[in-house]
Amino acid sequence: MVALFAEVFEGQPKGIPTWILEREDGLLQLLEGLSAEAASRQVAPGLNSCAAHAYHVNYILSLTNGFIRGENPTPDWESSWSRQAFEESEWKDLRDSIRREYAGVLAFLSSNPEWPSEDWLKGAMALIPHMAYHAGSIRQLARMVDS
């Protein structure tokens, strides 16, 4: 689980085939390659921006870290999509936050935790495809922004 989670965020490990990604770059590299202006651009009506996907990813990671710390946060999915656009400094702060939140979840997963319940294990396993979905969405939207 740790290797798959890391692959989604960090990309293909050197010399190791991928399990999820079709290319070497992971979510963190995708986000670093986007300016705030490009990330904030909505390519079509009804589609979220790359920045909105990144904001949602950060929200999920933050929520997950809250549960890891023993908190009992109440998810607010609507607010997790509330930001579509960012100024350059905000975009940098968001990417930094995603790195920190990712590192927290990765550290927890790497610690070989005793799962408090089956729901915890399901939640951890669900993070991988959920984050991979957003990485793929950002990859496709970024291509549309570039063209």
Query: Would you state the pLDDT for residue 138?
Result: 95
CA angle 64, 68, 70 (to 5 degrees): 120
Instruction: Using only the alpha carbons of the chain, give its radius of gyration.
Output: 15
SS3 category, 112 = coil
CATH code of the domain in which 99 resides: 1.20.120.450
Tokens matching residue 76: 């607010």
- Provide the mean pLDDT of the chain: 92
Tens-place pLDDT, residues 93-133 = 999 999 999 999 999 999 988 888 888 889 889 999 999 99
Q: What does the block give as tokens for 100? A: 């920190």
Which pLDDT belongs to residue 89?
98
Residues 6+ apart with CB under 8 A from 84: 40, 42, 48, 49, 51, 52
Do you know the residue count of the chain? 147
pTM attached to this predicted model: 0.93
Domain count along the chain: 1
Buried-state track 107-120, b at ≥16 Cβ within 10 A, e below 16: ebbeeeeeeeeeee
Q: Which domain range does residue 121 map to?
A: 2-146
Q: Interhelix angle for 2-10 vs 118-146, to 10°?
A: 20
**Spans in the chain with pLDDT lower than 70:** 23
